[in-house]
Amino acid sequence: MTVTRSNSSVTRISAADIAQLVKGELTGDGGLLISGFSGIKEAKKNELTFLGNPKYEPLLLDTQAGVILVPRQITCPGKTFIKVDNPSLAFTQVVNHLLKDGPEYKPCGIHPTAVISPGAKLARDVAVGAHTVIEDGATIAEGCVLYANCYVGHETRLGKDCLIYPQVVLREKVSLGDRVIIHSGTVIGSDGYGYVPVDGKHMKIPQVGTVLIEDDVEIGANVAVDRARFDKTIIGEGTKIDNLVHIAHNVTIGKHCLIVGQVGISGSTRIGNYVILAGQVGVVGHLEIGDGAVVMAQSGVSRSIKAGEQVFGSPAHPVKDALRNNAHIQRLDKYVEMIKDLKKRIEELERK
Amino acid sequence: MTVTRSNSSVTRISAADIAQLVKGELTGDGGLLISGFSGIKEAKKNELTFLGNPKYEPLLLDTQAGVILVPRQITCPGKTFIKVDNPSLAFTQVVNHLLKDGPEYKPCGIHPTAVISPGAKLARDVAVGAHTVIEDGATIAEGCVLYANCYVGHETRLGKDCLIYPQVVLREKVSLGDRVIIHSGTVIGSDGYGYVPVDGKHMKIPQVGTVLIEDDVEIGANVAVDRARFDKTIIGEGTKIDNLVHIAHNVTIGKHCLIVGQVGISGSTRIGNYVILAGQVGVVGHLEIGDGAVVMAQSGVSRSIKAGEQVFGSPAHPVKDALRNNAHIQRLDKYVEMIKDLKKRIEELERK
Amino acid sequence: MTVTRSNSSVTRISAADIAQLVKGELTGDGGLLISGFSGIKEAKKNELTFLGNPKYEPLLLDTQAGVILVPRQITCPGKTFIKVDNPSLAFTQVVNHLLKDGPEYKPCGIHPTAVISPGAKLARDVAVGAHTVIEDGATIAEGCVLYANCYVGHETRLGKDCLIYPQVVLREKVSLGDRVIIHSGTVIGSDGYGYVPVDGKHMKIPQVGTVLIEDDVEIGANVAVDRARFDKTIIGEGTKIDNLVHIAHNVTIGKHCLIVGQVGISGSTRIGNYVILAGQVGVVGHLEIGDGAVVMAQSGVSRSIKAGEQVFGSPAHPVKDALRNNAHIQRLDKYVEMIKDLKKRIEELERK
């Protein structure tokens, strides 16, 4: 009825146990304890990494990782490594194994102080924390966990295994896919910012659309995602959003994007798949950002960006141009001296 | 006692019904269904727009709007239009008609889990959602709707017909006018950020002022408006604030301003009427921003701005200068080549 | 059981009462009423200030302060002043005296709607507002005040005399020192933003570390402080954080820093003591910011900063360079004219 502690607080695993889990062939120190995961460049001594593509084999020489998952044909002399058929799949298996119980503490059952409308439909194993409110017509699928003090509006739908941390607001008619994670203080489905000037006042334009959040999206703390004016604001499958991000009405974000802290995306902009918007980026409304585009930190995007393009600056330009121009700006003092020197020398020549 | 569904979810209206509502003269397709409103340039096929000023008549040729409200003397061949005495007033009437019931779902009555101090004064028809807390001395006028999980501090006052979404915090002694709308996660009346250095530590300066929010203000999600150190932080009538905006202590914002997402305004700055601060703008403290000034996105304002001035950049300069300088920056490579070329030619001339 | 009003709403004190409190020697108008505190340059007529260092004695001529605390050997003809042995200590005493009761209204006792796990340990005088949830294993020391609608996670610890405003979330295993103040809407201990690419998806990296907030830290409204991946995110003693700040996982902030509104600090960056990050600054991950460094508003820090260094711009450079380069940018038009003029004159010379 209240809250239980899971038994999964131990997040260490030995190299030998990893080898057994992924059916791999271990070389090195089987007793080495692993407590984290990282890319091959960043991994530390207590972390597991993997070599997904044999062309990066040279990186094995420098990696600090404690244990490396490698393809069958590769060896790493002097390191602890495990040969497997598919290193990235094996890596996934280890991460999933250690994460299988989710966060260490979570509510179980329905807390007696939760206010759940008789017209809401909850799957049998849904957990609801203290003081959470679930309105009429809401539908919550199996495996969902809602912590304390949340609000789920009318006709809002949660897919399977969603994890909603304390004090999240899901306004009415919002849709979440499966395995969506939303952190505390985040608001999904607030009204879009839309007014029309009438007689010197800003008249509110009704925001009667909704928000669709697809499978495997994670959204950080104190984010705001506005509902569409009509139709839907969309966050695509597997996209990960950091803290304090602002997503305006009718924005569409594609699949597997990374939207880093304090980014703001204005109304009706469409963002492709695998796009990266680094910290504090701002994007003007009604633009198209192509698949795989990268916008560097603090940039201001005021025109559409092609697929694969990398931009920087406010206003943003292609990274190469922006870096070259920034370098020139650092040397303006020198250039101005040069101009003044040339002027003197020309005057000298003119005098002759 | 709990929550009811209003009957206003149909937000479509036919051209003929619009004509009747505004007592206008319809030409064209009376059965055309309108589900939104927009300016004459942006309006789409299913939207209503209006021609307020006859001098913009040429825009009628290109508008995509489904139905146009026009002055009596104007016709739009081939379009569906309605002649009225005052198009902007008629437009207002239609918008108000369709919005008259407010959001589709809202609480009604006082939820039994709400905690309302016996010393709070609520008008008879005020609605209070589940788990909302209203402290002693708070006064809430008729027509106000407070959703679930809100907090209303001591002696805080709400005017008529305010709409407070779930999980809003109104700290003590804050004042709201009539028809104020505040979205989820927003905090009004947090302490200003004020310290005085004493012996190598930052000693807190008491923040004993308050916040005044005038009529018809709307504030987005996860905004923070700090209370004044002494006196009042003020948001003027009709001003609309987007998500994740930071308004520091003792700021005064005038009437009918637009403060777009993630703007930050530092302490004691005074902003006039009809000012626009675009997304992610930052304004330094103790400045004056004149009536009708426009600050473009991501700009950093570090000096006072005159009425009507338009500025851009960080630090911000008049838009014309900023755009010209940005254009020059894009051509720095060319200029540097020119300087180097001139240097060579001068050396050549000097040799002769 | 519910909430009481303290008797401390009068925050005015006469010059004579101040003199008595600090055991000082008054000259001037003992009836002058003081209602605030400020630095010697900023102080107004109704404010108290102090002269800490005799070398700043010339500032006494221009200060607008109503009452000034000065060292024994100094006099201020024509002003109201109080001679004391240690002006900064005396100033501290007055501020503490007027603030000794904290905010005007606060909960007392445990509200019956609070949900407190039997496994939580609360000191006898802790106050807990309505609907606040305290999970199993939490420990809350004497003098703490938690307002309504807060969430305190499992095994989270609060030191003495903490003040937690409505709707704060402290996730599991977070540690707060003594006298920590946290404003509404703030989230401490949300998961860090960490993923590893596996098969074209972003696989979540477990965030099993925690957050340590040391003594006398104050954190504004709607801030997000992420828990560490492993180990701890740390906010050092006496550091003051403004509204809407984003602090990523594994960040370490030193003692007595000022982190102003809407700043974002990326993962694993280490910030020294007495650092100032002005409004909307962004700091890239894995950097070192030295003691006493100052980063001006809206700057983007992409390299480590030495102790005492002052930087500005995006990307940030030493302030002197940044201001000089900005000045050059404002004159680019003139320089381009100069280059074109020189070109013509060289062509003329070449023709001859």
pLDDT of residue C146: 98
Total Cβ atoms within 10 A of residue A301: 24
Read off φ and ψ for residue C69, nearest 5 degrees: -90, 125
To the nearest 10 degrees (0 to 180), the angle between helices A332-351 and C319-330 is: 50
Q: How far apart are CA B152 and CA B136, in angstroms?
A: 9
The two domains A3-99 and A105-320 share their CATH topology (first three levels equal): no
Strands of B288-289's sheet, edge to edge?
Answer: B121-122, B139-140, B157-158, B175-176, B210-213, B232-235, B252-253, B270-271, B288-289
Please give the Cα distance from B312 to B294 (Å, whole number): 9
Could you tell me if A16 lies within 8 Å of chain C, comparing CB atoms? no
| Whether the predicted pLDDT of C6 surpasses 70 | no
Q: CB distance A324–B314 less than 8 Å?
A: no
Would you state the pLDDT for residue C101?
66
Contact A169, A186 (CB under 8 A): yes
Average pLDDT over residues A24-28: 96
Residue C4, both tokens = 């009481």
- pLDDT greater than 90 at residue B6: no
Strand A195-198 and strand A201-204: the pairing is: antiparallel
In this prediction, residue A326 has a pLDDT band, given cuts at 50, 70 and 90, of very high
Q: Determine which of A48-52, B146-150, B168-172 has the lowest per-residue pLDDT on average.
A: A48-52
- Whether C268 contacts chain B with CB within 8 A: no
CA distance A78 to chain C (A): 25
Percent of chain B residues topping a pLDDT of 90: 77
Instruction: Please determine, for residue C8, whether its predicted confidence score (pLDDT) is greater than 80.
Output: no
Distance CA(C32)–CA(C30), nearest Å, equals: 6
pLDDT-based confidence at residue C283 (cuts at 50, 70, 90) = very high
Q: Which residue in B131, B249, B286, B317 is the catalytic one?
A: B249
Residue B250 has pLDDT above 80, yes or no: yes
Q: Which CATH superfamily is domain B105-321 in?
A: Hexapeptide repeat proteins (2.160.10.10)
pLDDT at B7 over 50: no
Model confidence over C74-102: pLDDT tens digits? 988 889 999 999 998 898 888 878 776 67
Specify the pairing of strand C13-14 against strand C33-34: antiparallel
Residues of C known to be catalytic? 249
Which of the other chains make 3 or more beta carbon contacts under 8 angstroms with chain C? Answer: A, B
Mean pLDDT lowest among A272-281, C97-106, C244-253? C97-106
- Indicate the average pLDDT of chain B: 92
CB contact under 8 A, A280 and C300: yes
Is residue B241 within 8 Å of residue B218, measured between CB atoms? yes
Cis peptide before A58 (omega within 30 of 0): no
Q: What sign does the CA torsion over B112, B118, B121, B124 have?
A: positive
CB contact under 8 A, C3 and B321: no
Contacting C residues, span 270-329, partner chain A, CB-CB under 8 Å? 280, 282, 284, 298, 300, 302, 314-315, 317, 321, 324-325, 328-329
Is the separation of the CB atoms in C202 and C184 below 8 Å?
Answer: no
Per-residue model confidence (pLDDT) at position B95: 80
- Measured CA to CA in angstroms, residue C172 lies from C208, C210, C226 at distances of 10, 8, 12
Q: Chain A closest CA to B49's CA: distance in Å?
A: 10
pLDDT digits (tens, 9 = 90+) for B45-72: 999 999 988 888 888 989 999 999 999 9
DSSP state of B21: H
- The string of pLDDT tens digits covering residues C161-184 is 999 999 999 999 999 999 999 999
Architecture of domain A105-320: 3 Solenoid (2.160)
What pLDDT, on a 0 to 100 scale, did the predictor assign at position C92?
81
* Chains contacting B (3+ CB pairs below 8 angstroms): A, C
Asked if the A3-99 domain carries CATH number 3.40.1390.10, the reply is yes
Per-residue pLDDT for B283 more than 60?
yes
Which pLDDT band holds residue A243 (cuts at 50, 70, 90)?
Answer: very high
pLDDT of B172 reads 97
β-strand partners of A305: A289
Yes or no, beta carbons of C258 and B202 under 8 Å apart? yes
| CA torsion, ordered B308, B312, B316, B321, to nearest 10 deg | -90
| Each residue's pLDDT tens digit, A296-312 | 999 999 999 999 999 99
Return the pLDDT at A152: 98
Q: pLDDT tens across C284-328, in order? A: 999 999 999 999 999 999 999 999 999 999 999 999 999 999 999
Give the model's confidence band at B12: pLDDT under 50 very low, under 70 low, under 90 confident, else very high. Answer: confident
Question: Is pLDDT at A11 greater than 80 in this prediction?
Answer: no
Rounded Cα distance between B308 and C321, Å, is 32
When scoring B155, B165, B193 by the number of chain C Cβ atoms within 10 A, the one with the most, hence best to mutate, is B193
> What is the SS3 assignment for A48?
strand
Residue B218 three-state SS: strand
Mean pLDDT of B105-125: 95
- The answer to whether residues C276 and C295 touch, using CB atoms and an 8 Å cutoff, is yes
Q: How distant is the Cα of A330 from the closest Cα of chain C, in angstroms?
A: 7
Listed by start position, the domains of chain B span 3-99, 105-321, 323-351
Q: What is the pLDDT of residue B3?
A: 30
Instruction: State mean pLDDT over A178-192.
Output: 98
Lowest mean pLDDT among A317-331, B58-72, B292-306, C196-210: C196-210
- What is the C-alpha to C-alpha distance for residues B291 and A200, in angstroms, rounded to an integer? 13
In the prediction, which pLDDT does C11 show? 64
Chain B residues lying within 8 Å of A151, measured CB to CB:
147-149, 166-167, 184
Closest residue in C to A112 (Cα–Cα):
C115
Q: State pLDDT tens for residues A89-107.
A: 898 888 878 776 677 788 8
pLDDT in tens, B175-223: 999 999 999 999 999 999 999 888 899 988 888 889 999 999 999 999 9
By CA distance, what is C99's nearest residue in B? B206
3-state DSSP of chain C? CCEEECCCCCCCEEHHHHHHHCCCEEECCCCCEECEECCCCCCCCCEEEECCCHHHHHHHHCCCCCEEEEECCCCCCCCEEEEECCHHHHHHHHHHHHHCCCCCEEECCECCCCEECCCCEECCCCEECCCCEECCCCEECCCCEECCCCEECCCCEECCCCEECCCCEECCCCEECCCCEECCCCEEEECCCCEEEECCEEEECCCCCEEEECCCCEECCCCEEECCCCCEEEECCCCEECCCCEECCCCEECCCCEECCCCEECCCCEECCCCEECCCCEECCCCEECCCCEECCCCEECCCECCCCEEECCCCEEHHHHHHHHHHHHCHHHHHHHHHHHHHHHHHHHHC
* DSSP for residue B185: T
- pLDDT exceeds cutoff 60 at C9: no
Q: Is A168 exposed, middle or buried (0-12, 13-18, 19+ CB in 10 A)?
A: buried
Question: In C, residues 190-249, which contact B (CB 8 Å cutoff)?
Answer: 216, 218, 220-222, 238, 240, 242-244
* Contact assignment for C95 to B203 by CB distance below 8 Å: yes
What pLDDT is recorded for position A56? Answer: 86
Instruction: Tell me the average pLDDT across B99-117.
Output: 87
Chain B partners within 8 Å of A115 (Cβ): 111, 113, 130-131, 148
Contact C32, C44 (CB under 8 A): no
Residue ranges of A 65-124 with Cβ closer than 8 A to chain C: 88-89, 91-92, 95, 98-99, 103-105, 111, 113
Terminal-residue alpha carbon distance, chain B: 99
The Cβ-side half-sphere exposure at A69, using a 13 Å CA radius, reads: 32
